[in-house]
Amino acid sequence: MVSRSRRLVLTGLGILSPLGLSAEAFWQALVAGTSGIRTISLMDASRLPTHIAGEVPGFSAKAMIEKSYRKTLNAMARTVELGVIGAQLAMQNAGLGKGTVPPQRIGIEFASLMGATDLNDMAAAAKLTSPDGETVNYATWGREGLNEIIPMWMLKYLPNMPACHTTILYDIQGPSNTQIPGDAAGLIALAEAGRIIRRHAADVMVVGSSEGRLNPITLARYNLFLELSRRNDDPAGAVRPFDATRDGTVSGEGAAVFILEDLDHATRRGANILAEVVGWSSGVDRGLSGQGLARVIRHALAMAQISPAEVDHVNAHGTGTTTGDAFEARGIAAVFGTQTRVYAPLPQFGNLGAASGLMELAASVLALHQGQLPGTINHTQPDPNCPVYVHTGRPQPVTQPYVVKVSYTPLGQCAAVVIRKWNP
Amino acid sequence: MMRRRVVITGMGVITPLGHSVEALFAASVEGRTAVGPITHFDARTFPTTFASEVKNFDLANYLPQAERFRHFGVNTHYALAAGQMALAQAGLLEVTGDRTRMGVYLGSGEGKEDFEALVTSTAKATQPGERTCNIRDAVGWLYQRLNGPQEKEQEMFVPSGQLANEFVLEGPFASCQTACAASSQAIGEALEMIRANEADVILAGGSHSMITPLGISGFNRLTALSQRNDSPQTASRPFDRTRDGFVIGEGAGLLVLEELEHAKARNAPILAELTGYGSTADAFRMTDPHPEGQGAIRAMAEAIADAQLQPADIGYINAHGTSTQANDVAETKAIKAVFGPQAYQIPISSSKSMLGHLIAAAGAVELIITVMALRHGIIPPTINYQTPDPECDLDYVPNRAREARFRHALSNSFGFGGQNVALVVSAFTD
C-alpha cells in the first residue's frame, strides 16, 4: 500500500487569472459569478472564428517581478512570466522566502507547455527569408535571417523555464520537474510532488502551473482543431458546462501555484493551512466511455479512504465542449450518480490548458477554506447526455469535508485528486 | 515493510545508430557514428549543417495501419516504435494481465513545427524593412496556412497518450519535459510510482527530435552546437580539450519497468534491476551548469544512496558528456567530488560521442546502453577523444571499447534549466 507516513497540506496559493491579479480577486469574482471572458485585447484576433478569451487584466511582469530578477524578463515569454510571478505570490502567501527552507529540502513541480514564439521575435528574419510571403528560402534564413533573432530566443519558450527561474529566484535545489500532459498536467504535478514529500526527498514543494496561450500561433492552431465557442457576442455566457446549449470552450491564460508541505514541517513553522491533499490517481480511458475516468476517481477515493457520500462536491473540468462534457459527466455519474454536487468554475476564466487543473482546484480549496461553494455559471438547461447534478446559483454552504477534482485530456488521460477541509 | 523492487523487463530504441537495442549496442561497441549532413531540411547555410539523424525509419515495420499516424510528429512515431519493441521483449504486447496497473511515463518534447507556414504567414504580414508584423493579418494567414489535422497531433500530451491508447496501458501516466534530463527523470519518477504501489508496470523513457529549422536555429543562436562543419563525424568529442559544443541527435528509448514479483510471476525476462534515482536542481543559471557541479554531485550521491550502495560499488559511469566546454568540466568535477580518489579508477564514457545528443530522449537511450554494457561486460568508448584536457583528467574509455565486469553502473543526465538526474542500474540477483 501507499505509504501514509507523511501528511500533505497546502500552505500557500498564488493566482494570476482572468479574474484578477490575486487569489482574493479570484475568490470574490467566483462568489459574485462574474466572468473574465472578454474580446481578446492582447492582439487583434478578429480574423479568427473565435476571438474571445480569458485574459489576465492589467498584468505587468515588470511591476510584479522581484527587482533583483527584473533584467531576466527579456528571456521570458508571457507564459513564463505568469508562472514565475504566480510562484512568487504563492511563496509570499506561504510565508516563505529565499532560504526559509534549507535549499535542498524544497523542490518544484510545474505544469507547462512549450510556448509559441512571439511573431515579432521572428518577423525580420521571416521577411528576409520569404520576401513574397509565399515561399521560404532556407539558405537566406540560415545565412541572414538567423542573425535577426535574439540569442536567448529558445529559452523564452521552453516548458521548464517557469520552474527554472523559480529555482534560481528562491534557491530551490530539491527535485525540479515539469509536467506536460495537457489539461491533466497540473494534477499529475501535484501527485508527483506528494510522492516526493512522502519519500522524504523534500519537505516543501512548489506545485505550479502557467499558461500563456493567447498568442497568434496558439490561438490560430486552437481555432483549427479545438471545439471553441462561437458566442463572440456573449463572452460571459460563452462556456456552458454540461448545458444542452453548449457549443465549445474558450481559451484562457493565467497561473495557479500552490505550496505543498509536509504537515509536521508546516506545523513547526506555524504555517497557515488551506487544505490537506489525501488522495490522487491517474489512468487512461481508452475510447472515452467514462468507465476509465470512474475507475480513476474510485482509486483516488480509495487512497483517501473515503466513500462518495463524504464528498461535498466534484470539481469538474467542465470545458463546455460537446463530447468532453458528456464524457466527463458519464465518468462522474458512474461514481456519484446525481447525488453529489458538481462544480465547474471554468466558464468564468476559460480553459487554461496546463494551468487549468490547479486553477480549477484553487476554486475548491478556497471554497473549503471559506465554507461556501460558489455556483457554476451558464448552466441553465440540463443535458440528458450529461447526467450529473450541477451546482448553480448563489453560493451554498460546504457540508462535507472532501472534494474530488477531475482533469482529463482528449486522449482520455484522466487524473483525480482528493482534498480535505482543514480542521486545526 | 520491504521496499518494492523494480526490474527492467524490456527495452526498445529508435536511434541514429540502429533501430534495435542489439544494433545500437553493436555500433556503440564498435565506436561508430551516424553523424552527417542534415537531410531533414536544407541546412547548408546554417552555422551548423550536420546532425545525428534517424534514417530509413518506417513506422509500418512496427504497427498495423501505420497510416493512422501520418499527421503525427516523429516524436510520436519513434515513441510508438520503441514502445512496441520494449513491450514485445517484455511479453506485454499481447493484452494480458491487469492493464489498469500498467502505465506510461514519457519524457518528450514539442511536435513537428510547420516552419514554412510560420515564416510565410509572418512575412506576408510584415512590410519590407519593418521588424514587426501586422498581427491581425499574420493570424489570418496562419489560420489559413496551418494544417488543422496535423497541428492537432502536435499537442504535448499526444506522444504519451498515444502510447497508452495503442498498447492498452490504462494505468497511471505522466509526461515531463526537463530538457536534456527529461527521459531520465521519467524513468526515475516511474520507479518511484511503482515503489509507491501506484502501478506494477510502467513503460518509461523518452522520445524527441529537434532536428528542425527552429530547433537548430534556437540552439545555434545559443551557440550550444558544434560548428565543426568540415568534420561532422568527429564533432562530438566529449572531454576532449578541443570540444566546441554538442551534436544534436534524435530518437527514442523506452524501457519496461516492472515490480519484481510481478515480473517473476509471469516469467518475464529480467534484464537488470533499477536500483537508484537522484534528482536535484542547480538553481544557478538557465543554461550553464553550476561550475562545481553542485547539483550533479547531490544527484549522483542520492542515486547511489537510494540504491543502498557506496560509491566504491559503482563499476561504470555513463556520463552526460555533452561535448560542451561547461558540462564536461562540471561533470568531471562532480564525479571527483562524489568518488574521491577512486574517480580515477572508474571507467566513464559518453554515448553522445557516437549518437549525438538526443535531448529529451538522451537519458533513456543511454540507460539502455548502460544496461547492455552491464549484461555483456563491455564498456562502449568515448570516441573522438584525441587531445586531453587538464580539467578533464579521468578515464573516459577513449576510442576503444573495453571489457569490464561490474555489478552496478551510474547514468547521468543534466538539463538546460538546471535539472540533474542520476540513475543506478544493477545486475539482477534474487
Closest approach of B111 to chain A, Cα-based (Å): 10
Residue A114 pairs in a beta bridge with none
- Cα separation values, B343 from B325, B414, B421, Å: 20, 19, 19
Q: Which grid coordinates belong to A322?
A: 460537446
Predicted confidence at residue B395, as pLDDT, reads: 98
Predicted confidence at residue B1, as pLDDT, reads: 63
- Cα separation values, A2 from A406, B143, B197, B198, Å: 21, 48, 6, 7
Between CA B397 and CA A139 the distance in angstroms is: 40
Asked whether the beta carbons of residue A164 and residue B165 sit closer than 8 angstroms, the reply is no
Predicted confidence at residue A11, as pLDDT, reads: 98
The full set of domains in chain A, from first to last, is 8-118+152-268 (3.40.47.10), 119-148 (no CATH), 277-421 (3.40.47.10)
Which one-letter DSSP state was computed for residue B327? H
Binned at pLDDT 50, 70 and 90, residue A2 comes out as: very low
Predicted confidence at residue A424, as pLDDT, reads: 76
Binned at pLDDT 50, 70 and 90, residue A4 comes out as: low
pLDDT at B21 over 90: yes
Average pLDDT over residues A232-237: 98
The full set of domains in chain B, from first to last, is 6-112+154-426 (3.40.47.10), 115-152 (no CATH)
Share of chain B above pLDDT 90, in %: 98
Binned at pLDDT 50, 70 and 90, residue A3 comes out as: very low
Tens of pLDDT, residues A180-233:
999 999 999 999 999 999 999 999 999 999 999 999 999 999 999 999 999 999
- Helices A291-304 and A322-336 cross at an angle (nearest 10°) of 50
Active site annotation includes B357: yes
Share of chain A above pLDDT 70, in %: 99
Please report, as a single letter, which amino acid is at residue B379. Answer: I
Asked whether the beta carbons of residue A141 and residue B151 sit closer than 8 angstroms, the reply is no
- In whole numbers, what is the pLDDT of chain B averaged over residues? 97
Average pLDDT over residues B107-126: 95
Tens of pLDDT, residues A380-389:
999 999 999 9
Task: Tell me the chain A residues in contact with residue B286 when contact means C-beta distances shorter than 8 Å.
Answer: 75, 155, 161, 164-165, 168
- Cα separation values, B231 from B36, B55, B226, Å: 9, 20, 10
Average pLDDT over residues B365-379: 98
Binned at pLDDT 50, 70 and 90, residue A5 comes out as: confident
Average pLDDT over residues A27-49: 97
Between CA A163 and CA B181 the distance in angstroms is: 14
Half-sphere exposure of A415 (CA within 13 A, CB side): 29
Which single residue is written with the C-alpha cell 476517481? A297
Between CA B224 and CA B227 the distance in angstroms is: 9
Between CA A87 and CA A94 the distance in angstroms is: 10
Interface of A with B in 293-312 (CB under 8 A): 295
Which single residue is written with the C-alpha cell 528574419? A125
Contact B162, A166 (CB under 8 A): no
Active site annotation includes B408: no
Which single residue is written with the C-alpha cell 482546484? A361
- Cα separation values, A40 from A46, A48, B132, B193, Å: 9, 11, 20, 41
Element spanning B254, H or E: strand B250-259
pLDDT at A287 over 70: yes
pLDDT at A258 over 60: yes
Asked whether the beta carbons of residue B172 and residue A223 sit closer than 8 angstroms, the reply is no
Between CA A175 and CA B281 the distance in angstroms is: 6
Asked whether the beta carbons of residue B124 and residue A130 sit closer than 8 angstroms, the reply is yes
Share of chain A above pLDDT 90, in %: 98
Top residue of B6, B145, B178 to mutate, by most chain A CBs within 10 Å, is: B178
Between CA B198 and CA A5 the distance in angstroms is: 16
Q: Which residue of B has its CA nearest to A223?
A: B143
Catalytic residue among B19, B77, B176, B180: B180
Predicted confidence at residue A1, as pLDDT, reads: 41
Contact B174, A196 (CB under 8 A): no
Sign of dihedral through CA atoms A361, A365, A366, A372?
Answer: positive
What are the φ and ψ backbone dihedral angles of B380, each rounded to 5 degrees?
-65, 155
Average pLDDT over residues A161-182: 98
- Cα separation values, B130 from A125, B123, B125, B424, Å: 10, 10, 10, 54
Contact B370, B279 (CB under 8 A): no
Q: Which grid coordinates belong to A268?
A: 513547526
Asked whether the beta carbons of residue B178 and residue A135 sit closer than 8 angstroms, the reply is no
Tens of pLDDT, residues A110-150:
999 988 999 999 999 999 999 999 999 999 999 999 999 99
pLDDT at B410 over 90: yes
Burial letters for B14-53: b for 16+ Cβ neighbours within 10 Å, e otherwise?
Answer: bbbbbbbbeebbebbbebebbbeebebbbbebbbbbbbbb
Share of chain B above pLDDT 70, in %: 100
pLDDT at A46 over 60: yes
Between CA A82 and CA A97 the distance in angstroms is: 19
Q: Which grid coordinates belong to B209?
A: 527530435
- pTM of the full structure: 0.98
Radius of gyration for the alpha carbons in chain B, expressed in angstroms and rounded: 21
Closest approach of B363 to chain A, Cα-based (Å): 15
What are the φ and ψ backbone dihedral angles of B427, each rounded to 5 degrees?
-60, 140
Active site annotation includes B180: yes
Strands A37-39 and A8-16: unpaired
Average pLDDT over residues A393-400: 98
Minimal CA–CA distance to A83: which of A212, A188, A259? A212
pLDDT at B143 over 60: yes
